[in-house]
Structure 1
Amino acid sequence: MKFAIITGASKGLGSSIAERMISEKIGVITVSRTENAELREKALVNKVFYQHFSCNLAVPEEVEKNFQEILSVLEPKKAEVIYVINNAGVIDPIATAGTLDHQALIANVQINLIAPLMITNILLKNACVPLKIVNVSSGAAERPIQGWSAYCSTKAGLNMFTETAAAEQITAGAPHEIIAFSPGIMDTDMQGTIRSSSKEAFNDLEKFKEYKEQGMLRPAHVVADALVNLLLDAQIESGKIYRVNELI
């Protein structure tokens, strides 16, 4: 059987990816602070393995503990492949450099960058089956956006980690594949957070309000389908940064 580990699956893109995986009869493990009860019910109806791990990804000790437990759960199941979707992410603090809240800044780096690095490291070290790891990135990793210095920096770091770790696995002749996925602009809670910021903190505020008003935000399930189709139907290129516009 195939399994998927998905962080940030309580809502938005993560929830949509989990729903699609369950529909494909792929066992799902979700990792987030709160559980999406609808996923449990969907798994029950589809007779698919499901388990939730409550974890604050901003706390390294919780990441370590939970992923060691996840490995213990999966070990006896003899999975043929494990999909790992490092999806959890935060946009805050939205502020210009010089006005950043340090606690929010630390949480941003922990969740957006350190957690996926730790998760990948733990699984590569201990997993005995092929891994297909997806690090959810952003177009913000490739260009400066005023007010998003933390978000841009962590996503850029995640892209570089993806490319480097993938190259290492290829050199080692390992069966594991690692890619990044840029999902574009979606109609999620994160967009709501962006629109609620101030013009002083975020220079492109009006542009992002227009995205919503003009119906330019893709539904999360459309983006999720593009990613899952890539993983299930295509031969992925390890180390590549895939962009949703190339897949839809």
Structure 2
Amino acid sequence: MKYAIITGASKGLGESIAKRLLQEQIAVISVSRTENKELKSLAMDKGIEYKHISCNLSLETEIQEVFMEIAHCLFENQPTEILLFNNAGVIEPIQKVGNLDQTPIIRNIKINLIAPMLITNLFLSKAHLTNTKVTIINVTSGAAIRSIEGWSVYCSSKAGLNMFTQTTAVEQADLETKHTIIGFSPGVMDTGMQETIRSTTEDAFKELEKFKEYKEKNMLLDTDTVAHRLVDLVLTGTPESGKVYHIKELLET
């Protein structure tokens, strides 16, 4: 049996990924601060195993405790494959360097970069002792490869996540494991993160009007559409370990 772990599954892309996986009869473990009741209902209707676990991904000790427990329970069941979606992320702080506050800087790096690193490290360590394949999907951003004024922390954390993904893939290939790790850049979606971006000021974020225009002209991608393309790649494609996939490429295929 396949299991999927999704961080940030309570809303946005994470919720859409979870719904699609439940439709595919894949057991889902949702990890976020709050539970999405729709996911629970869908799982009950489909007769699929589902569990929500609350976790603050900005706290390292909580990450270790929660994911140690998840790993222990999953590997004990000897699943054929574990799909790990490191999806949770934050955009804040949106501000130019020199005007940044310390606390949101640290929180951003912890959630966007440190949490995926800790979780990935833990699962690959546990998988070493079993025959279970682990497929890791790190949700990144186009901001990882483009400097955006006001987004220095977000750009940096996502660039770090890309490099972590690529380096881990090289190491797993050298170890000759069957594990796969990829990055996925979902594009500009209609989510709460976009609402946060639009609520900032032009002094802090130079491209504010452009992002308001995305919403006004209905140019934002639907999270269900993005999730379907990603899940199709993971379940029916042959994702190349170490590669960062972009939604634009997947929509064109």
Partner of 1:21: 21
Q: What is the alpha-carbon distance in structure 1 between the residues aligned to residue 85 and residue 49 of structure 2?
A: 17
Q: What is the alpha-carbon distance in structure 2 between the residues aligned to residue 75 and residue 215 of structure 1?
A: 43
Question: What CA deviation, in whole Å up to 9, does each residue of 1:220-239 have, x standing for no partner?
Answer: 00000010000011111000
Match for residue 198 of structure 1 among 198, 201, 212: 201
Aligned amino acid, residue 183 of structure 2: A
Q: What is the alpha-carbon distance in structure 2 between the residues aligned to residue 189 and residue 76 of structure 1?
A: 36
Aligned amino acid, residue 167 of structure 1: V
Question: What CA deviation, in whole Å up to 9, does each residue of 1:18-43 have, x standing for no partner?
Answer: 00000000000011111111101111
1:76 CA drift (Å): 2.9
Q: What is the alpha-carbon distance in structure 1 between the residues aligned to residue 142 and residue 110 of structure 2?
A: 20
Partner of 1:73: 73
Question: What CA deviation, in whole Å up to 9, does each residue of 1:157-179 have, x standing for no partner?
Answer: 00000000000000100111000
Q: What is the alpha-carbon distance in structure 1 between the residues aligned to residue 73 and residue 18 of structure 2?
A: 18
Alignment partner of 2:161: what SS? helix
Aligned amino acid, residue 69 of structure 2: E
Alignment partner of 2:220: what SS? coil
1:101 CA drift (Å): 1.2
Alignment partner of 1:28: what SS? strand
Q: What is the alpha-carbon distance in structure 1 between the residues aligned to residue 102 and residue 222 of structure 2?
A: 32
Q: What is the alpha-carbon distance in structure 2 between the residues aligned to residue 73 and residue 213 of structure 1?
A: 46
Aligned amino acid, residue 48 of structure 2: V
Match for residue 174 of structure 1 among 177, 185, 204: 177
Match for residue 156 of structure 2 among 153, 156, 165: 153
Question: TM-score normalised to the size of structure 2?
Answer: 0.97
Within a 5 Å distance, the mapping from 1:5-16 to structure 2 comes to 5-16=5-16
The share of aligned pairs that are identical, in percent, is 54
1:75 CA drift (Å): 2.3
Q: What is the alpha-carbon distance in structure 2 between the residues aligned to residue 89 and residue 103 of structure 1?
A: 16
Partner of 2:49: 49
Alignment partner of 2:148: what SS? coil
Is it true that 1:165 corresponds to 2:164 in the alignment? no
Q: What is the alpha-carbon distance in structure 2 between the residues aligned to residue 199 and residue 236 of structure 1?
A: 39
Q: How many residue pairs align between the two structures?
A: 248
Partner of 2:240: 237
Q: What is the alpha-carbon distance in structure 1 between the residues aligned to residue 9 and residue 184 of structure 2?
A: 16
1:77 CA drift (Å): 2.0
Partner of 2:211: 208
1:72 CA drift (Å): 2.0
Question: TM-score normalised to the size of structure 1?
Answer: 0.99
Q: Please, what is the CA RMSD of the aligned residues?
A: 0.6
Q: What is the alpha-carbon distance in structure 2 between the residues aligned to residue 76 and residue 94 of structure 1?
A: 42
Aligned amino acid, residue 223 of structure 1: V
Q: What is the alpha-carbon distance in structure 2 between the residues aligned to residue 14 and residue 57 of structure 1?
A: 15
Q: What is the alpha-carbon distance in structure 2 between the residues aligned to residue 78 and residue 37 of structure 1?
A: 28
Q: What is the alpha-carbon distance in structure 1 between the residues aligned to residue 28 and residue 77 of structure 2?
A: 13
